[in-house]
Copies of this chain bind each other. A is one copy, B any other.
């Protein structure tokens, strides 16, 4: 792994652990055992590091969240889907903890973020229309929009919200799985009998995951 990538990952690690405002470029360099000058050899400034982290995040989001025909069909692949998204959010959780501040400092990043959000929204809508076609949910277009917004908001706020509840506690996978369960609990009342089946399967899976993780 190249130094540049190591910096990105060290920064991500420290940002997640201590919050971006509390991590200085000198901290990152010291943590890695390199000089501050070397860090600035690879990045123009701290902002650029954050930028690059975001790019990695957005790239992964694109890849992981690519809606596929088959994805919607089996509850198995749906499961991988949810897993992937929440894990992604967990790996870049520092970002969610300071989003307004980080974005207000960097209008280019703001633009990229909005783009990513827009893509995400489209993908969620695609997946959900697919569900409707399959008869898993029964919603009109407006309700679908509302649901997509709620899901986006809940998903992207989950980690920040949980962190606020217990900042000292490390965010564990169990917390992530509870987030998925929260999402499922929002969807459940909107499903058809057939859809409910799928949701219940997923819920039982994640309940087990939480139980395993806690113990």
Contact = CB atoms under 8 A, between A and B. Distances in A.
Interface of A: 19, 21-22, 97-101, 103-104, 107, 110, 113-114, 117, 143, 146-147, 149-150, 153-154, 156-158, 160-161, 163-165, 167-168, 182, 185-186, 189-190
B21 A182 contact: no
Given A101-B21, A101-B98, A150 B154 contact: yes
Contact of A158 (B103, B107, B110, B153): B153
Interface of A is mostly: helix
B165 A161 contact: no
Contacts of A158: 153
A22 to B, nearest CB: 8
Copies of this chain present in the complex amount to: 4
A97 B106 CA distance: 16
Contact of A104 (B150, B167, B190): B167
Nearest to A152: B161
A103 B150 CA distance: 25
A58 B114 CA distance: 33
